[in-house]
Amino acid sequence: QHAAGPGAGGGAVDTRRTPPSLLWPEFERDPYPLYRRLREEFPVVRDEPLDAWLVSRYADVRIALTDSRFTSRNYGWQLAPMFGRTVLQMDGREHAAHRAFLTPAFRGRALARLTESIERSAAALAAPLRDRDEADLVAGFCNRFPISVVVTALGLPAEDAPLFQDWYRAGFSYLGNYRQDPATLARGLSSRDELYAYLAPFVRERRARPADDLLSVLCEAEVDGAPLPDEMIMGFCGTLLGAGGETTDKSLSSLLRSLLDDPELLAAVRDEPGLATRAWAESLRRDPPVQVVLRQTAGTAELPSGRIPAGATVACLVGAANRDPERFSDPDRFDPFRTDGAVEREFTGAATHLAFGAGRHFCLGARLAQAEVEIGVRVLLETLPTLRWAPDFAPSETGLLTRAPARLLVATS
Ligand code: HEM
């Protein structure tokens, strides 16, 4: 399937002249050298094994994300069969209508209300870590915290968060199943069916008696005078486990890794929690949790670095764009104090890094994620004041479409 990769041992194909394919196993191990080759030699190129076009330079990715010649209709090879069409796969008027009723649910009063429960979830998850000598912050905290926030935001019982955890683990890893493995697909679909069976009575209940939560916003929403079908509401809830859970989980893991790698910075963040926000913005730039955002060309599309034919799937390589030296100086370096764009503006609004996307589909949950990360880091540092790497532990990142350290083994006492 990926015979052209350098990992395939060379063979008949001269890999120095072959554009890298996302299906090469090297991408999963360490994509950054390959991103660099793409940016330098093949900035807009067809990935034949994947049947998609790869775009890697900052300037090109930004245009592909924001220009309406690049549609979201076909977003995700995997999301559509799993959760049907949600806001991520919409364009034009329909997309604007969904953003209009969703946006207030992620801002202002709704966000302020959530902050209290975020604080409670963080404290409840951090406390048990204190009682051990060593803990894995990924399994013990990062994997669980953002999903519990999604469950609370939807207005579902907080004590059911572990169920979501199980569905997510069992099935929705399917979302990263870019190789379309049928067994993973089948597991994903059966978890989806369980999730929908769980959600259906809550949807009925909120239609009859709306409350002050995101599920009620979805149940009360109307587009062109018609309420959203149940399936669309439940599909959006499922999408949020990935869009709001997995992303924030990975973002927090990558930030913690960078802080643990730099004990001086970690100490500075402990003394001045506002610094965590700067460090987070830089972590989102250098190690974006969502590495690839997909689009499809409506007609032939001309980018500064090349042309893509009509009807093509376009993989916007956010991980490559965020390390483009044309845009960020010394891009592999983690520098929360950089002044060339990652953090000089309020990053949740007009971010110059592309970790939250750009344009019409800019992440709806960016401010919520910010609250989670700020509170999560503060609570962890308060609860575990001597936090440092466990002896002899070396973290390593994994993942292709989304990417983060697999484990963060720390000494907590
Ligand atoms: C959209 C990343 C947290 C909900 C997006 C997009 C990206 C992204 C790249 C754009 C996709 C596109 O252009 O097609 C992230 C990252 C996060 C994060 C890196 C954490 C650090 C969250 C949270 C939520 C959320 C906490 C909600 C609970 C959404 C939704 C969209 C979206 C609903 C779709 C917006 C649209 O299509 O108009 N996110 N996200 N995200 N995100 Fe996030």
Strand-by-strand arrangement of the 52-55 sheet:
44-47, 52-55, 313-317, 292-297, 70-71
Residue 241: what pLDDT? 87
Residue 2: what pLDDT? 34
CA–CA distances in Å: residue 293 to residues 43, 77, 154: 16, 11, 25
- Ligand 1 atom nearest 354 alpha carbon: 9
* Exposed / middle / buried, residue 299 (Cβ in 10 Å: 0-12, 13-18, 19+): exposed
- Ligand 1 atom nearest 153 alpha carbon: 28
- For ligand 1, whether the C-beta of 351 sits within 6 Å is no
In our burial notation (b when 16+ CB lie closer than 10 A, e otherwise), range 129-166 reads: beeeeebbbbebbbbbbbbbbbbbbbbbeeeebebbbe
Q: What would the pLDDT profile of 34-58 be if each residue is shown by its tens digit?
A: 999 999 999 999 999 989 999 999 9
Q: Model-level pTM? A: 0.93
Grouped pLDDT means (10 residues each) for the chain, 413 residues: 40 70 92 97 95 96 95 69 87 96 94 93 95 92 95 95 86 60 80 95 98 97 96 94 91 98 96 91 95 94 97 96 94 88 49 89 95 96 95 93 95 88
- Ligand 1 atom nearest 86 alpha carbon: 37
14 C-alpha to ligand 1 centroid (Å): 38
- Ligand 1 atom nearest 88 alpha carbon: 37
* Both tokens assigned to 318: 């956010």
Residue 79: what pLDDT? 56
Q: Does the model's ipTM exceed the 0.90 cut?
A: yes
Residue nearest to ligand 1 atom 35, measured at CA: 361
Can you name the CATH fold of 6-411?
Cytochrome p450 (1.10.630)
Residue 411: what pLDDT? 95
Residue 176: what pLDDT? 55
- For ligand 1, whether the C-beta of 145 sits within 6 Å is no
- For ligand 1, whether the C-beta of 254 sits within 6 Å is no
Quote the CA–CA distance of 195 and 197 in Å, as a whole number: 6
**Given ligand 1 and candidates 118, 213, 247, which is best to mutate, with the most ligand atoms within 8 Å of its CB?**
247
364 C-alpha to ligand 1 centroid (Å): 6
Residue 357: what pLDDT? 94
Judged by DSSP in three states, 136 sits in strand
Ranges of each domain in the chain: 6-411
Decide: 158 and 152 in contact? Cβ < 8 Å.
Answer: yes
Residue 13: what pLDDT? 56
CA–CA distances in Å: residue 384 to residues 111, 378, 387, 391, 394: 27, 10, 5, 16, 20
**Given ligand 1 and candidates 91, 356, 375, 401, which is best to mutate, with the most ligand atoms within 8 Å of its CB?**
356
1 C-alpha to ligand 1 centroid (Å): 31
- Amino acid in the structure at residue 55: V
- For ligand 1, whether the C-beta of 358 sits within 6 Å is no
388 C-alpha to ligand 1 centroid (Å): 30
Residue nearest to ligand 1 atom 34, measured at CA: 88
Q: How would you classify residue 75: left for phi > 0, otherwise alpha for psi between -120 and 50, otherwise beta?
A: beta
- For ligand 1, whether the C-beta of 72 sits within 6 Å is yes
The pair phi, psi for residue 115, each rounded to 5°, is -55, -40
- For ligand 1, whether the C-beta of 290 sits within 6 Å is yes
Residue 1: what pLDDT? 30
